[in-house]
Amino acid sequence: MDTFLEFAILVMATIVALFSALALQAILLRGVFSLMAPATASRRNVPPSMERGTQLVARAFAKAR
């Protein structure tokens, strides 16, 4: 009887540890995905003023050569 009780306690502790590890992994995975999202979410175009300024600088550099 004592052996069965200890085995049942061991099984229950293992199951609790398994589910707590799975929950922690899911929380950490969700956190990592939320940290990664801003790196790929915004693909903005270059403002036209900056693009025009880059063209002017390139022309000036080409004339100076």
11-21 pLDDT, tens digit each? 999 999 999 99
11-55 pLDDT, tens digit each? 999 999 999 999 999 999 999 988 887 665 566 665 666 677 788
- Please give the residue that has the higher pLDDT: either 37 or 2: 2
For residue 20, give its domain range: 1-41
Taking the CA atoms of residue 56, residue 58, residue 62 and residue 63 in that order, the dihedral angle to the nearest 10 degrees is 20
Give me the pLDDT at residue 53, please. Answer: 78
Residue 18 lies in a domain: yes
Cα separation of 34 and 57, whole Å? 39
Residue 22 lies in a domain: yes
Residue 57 lies in a domain: no
Residue 31 lies in a domain: yes
C-alpha Rg value of the chain to the nearest Å: 30
pTM across the whole model: 0.53
Helical residues (DSSP H) of the chain, grouped into ranges? 2-41, 48-64
Count of structural domains, the chain: 1
Residue 29 lies in a domain: yes
